[in-house]
Copies of this chain bind each other. A is one copy, B any other.
Amino acid sequence: MKVAKFGGSSVANAEQLKKVAKIIQADADRRVIVVSAPGKRHGDDTKVTDLLISVAEAYFDNDPYEDRLESVLNRFREITEQLSLSSDIVEEIRNDIQNTFDSTASDVLKLDSIKATGEDSLAKVLSLYLQSLGMDAIYLNPKDAGLFVSEQPGGAQVLDESYELLYKLNDRKQIVVIPGFFGYTKEEKLVTFSRGGSDITGSIVAAGIKAELYENFTDVDSVYCVNPTIVDNPKEITSLTYKEMRELSYAGFSVFHDEALIPAFKASIPVCIKNTNNPTGLGTIIVSKKEPQENPVVGIASDTGFISIYVSKYLMNRELGFGRKLLSILEDEGISFEHTPSGIDDISIIVRESGMPKDVEERVIARIKEELDPDTVTVDRDLALIMVVGEGMDSTIGLADMATHAFAKANVNLEMINQGSSEVSMMFGIKASKVESAVRSLYDTFFK
């Protein structure tokens, strides 16, 4: 039994939904389908979820929202017409949204309900369409599927008991279409996951039913070994481990929702990334373990937006507790640190720019100066991280040599090297302005 999840671009219009239906028909094991809300049909289109959020915002601001609502309804009107389905769903959406606004729920829960309308309605439309093609398919609400979550609007966490309930989906003979992105609390309140959370739903359901495979259909053939906006026609990755995927997605690979891998990872369910527009392509499969490869490097990821806080103090390493005190200051200020490379009398703390705005930075620096009496504290807000990722690289002699040579050839100074702490990656810090030339040189070194 497989779980197939279709992302926003795969369900953006009737034409795409026809492809989805063919994919479901092509494999009798595709028995649980999870869908996103309709995404962009073309470059400057607006996603249905964004339209819905704007409807809610207008409502909360007491502005007229009817035009915006009409845009949402038009998307579904167009889809149902083109698929020759009843357009009852259109009025249903209008009524549901009105009922939500009229309800006594809190504003945050109202917002979650509105946001979830896109996925929920599309799941209904797709099940109708599959039925119209003669397939034995039904829409299933997450509540009826057994997907229960914590009451954290916009950031729900799955409750452990869900997995046992979801397992019962194995008993159903029909194809089940479940809307992604949301679940219900034990009190039957609708709560959404974080944005992009349909991947999370798919992963939870796959873990729950102990699926043989979790297929994640999107609009790329596979995961590329490097950012294709930096390198033209890069190699495709056919297979990846969870760990490799996690390290790559940390530094900018956005194929898969970060949080979404957890349930699949814990249940060891293989995850396959496939293209709705080219479903017979191999795709990229993410597994727990894989055979050793000839080239231990599977991918090169890069991301900007990092800050380095550098602290030096003569004889720092003889001062018991210095590092712990430094990290405590960050924790106090609610700043999650990424890395802490340290020398003898120096330590750097790498944080994400988003995690430390300018005003917080000033307070943190003042506290470090006052509480730790260092010789120097400096902040560099212009750091990019590059990850060279692959299982087995920790035991391959000469890889660090190849990588550092690639940086030198591209005339890029290494602000930081962090190797050996992870078994599956080497991390390099460079000036953000040098990312493209560095990545191209690394690609040439490891993949050409």
Contact = CB atoms under 8 A, between A and B. Distances in A.
Contacts of A345: 243, 246, 422
Q: Looking at A315, A407, A417, A426, which has the most chain B CB atoms within 10 Å of its CB?
A: A417
Interface residues of A, number: 63
Contact of A331 (B315, B321, B343): B321
A340 B327 CA distance: 12
Interface in A361-409: 394-398, 400-401, 403-405, 407-408
Nearest to A416: B420
A22 to B, nearest CB: 36
A250 to B, nearest CB: 5
Dominant SS among interface residues on chain A: mixed
B327 A418 contact: no
A246 B421 contact: no
Given A397-B413, A415-B420, A336 B324 contact: no
A421 B348 contact: yes
B413 A395 contact: yes
Nearest to A422: B343
Given A340-B340, A345-B246, A417-B400, A320 B331 contact: yes
A14 to B, nearest CB: 39
A341 B345 CA distance: 15
A348 B340 CA distance: 11
A151 to B, nearest CB: 20
A346 interface: yes
B400 A344 contact: no
Given A324-B331, A343-B425, A401-B401, A348 B420 contact: yes
A342 interface: yes
Contact of A408 (B312, B344, B394, B401): B401
Interface string A323-360: 11001100100101111111111111000000000000
A289 to B, nearest CB: 14
Nearest to A343: B422
B397 A411 contact: yes
A300 interface: no
A262 interface: yes
A415 B394 CA distance: 7
A400 B404 contact: yes
A442 B318 CA distance: 28
A429 interface: yes
Interface in A178-194: none
A314 interface: yes
A341 B421 contact: yes
Interface in A78-98: none
A247 interface: yes
Q: Looking at A242, A324, A344, which has the most chain B CB atoms within 10 Å of its CB?
A: A344
A265 interface: yes
Given A317-B338, A412-B397, A429 B420 contact: yes
A183 to B, nearest CB: 20
Contact of A421 (B343, B395, B403): B343
Nearest to A352: B317
A427 interface: yes
Contact of A246 (B328, B344, B405): B344
A381 B346 CA distance: 24
A73 to B, nearest CB: 38
A252 B3 CA distance: 58
Contacts of A404: 400-401, 403-405
6 shortest interchain CB distances as A-B pairs? A343-B422, A416-B420, A341-B421, A417-B419, A401-B408, A398-B408
30 contacts: A246-B314, A250-B344, A262-B315, A320-B336, A321-B331, A323-B327, A323-B340, A324-B324, A339-B342, A341-B342, A341-B419, A342-B418, A343-B418, A343-B425, A346-B422, A348-B420, A394-B415, A395-B413, A400-B407, A400-B417, A401-B401, A401-B404, A401-B405, A414-B419, A414-B420, A416-B420, A417-B417, A417-B418, A417-B420, A417-B426
Given A346-B423, A397-B413, A416-B421, 16 more contacts: A246-B314, A317-B338, A320-B331, A327-B327, A339-B342, A340-B340, A341-B341, A342-B418, A346-B421, A346-B422, A397-B412, A400-B407, A401-B408, A414-B419, A414-B420, A420-B429
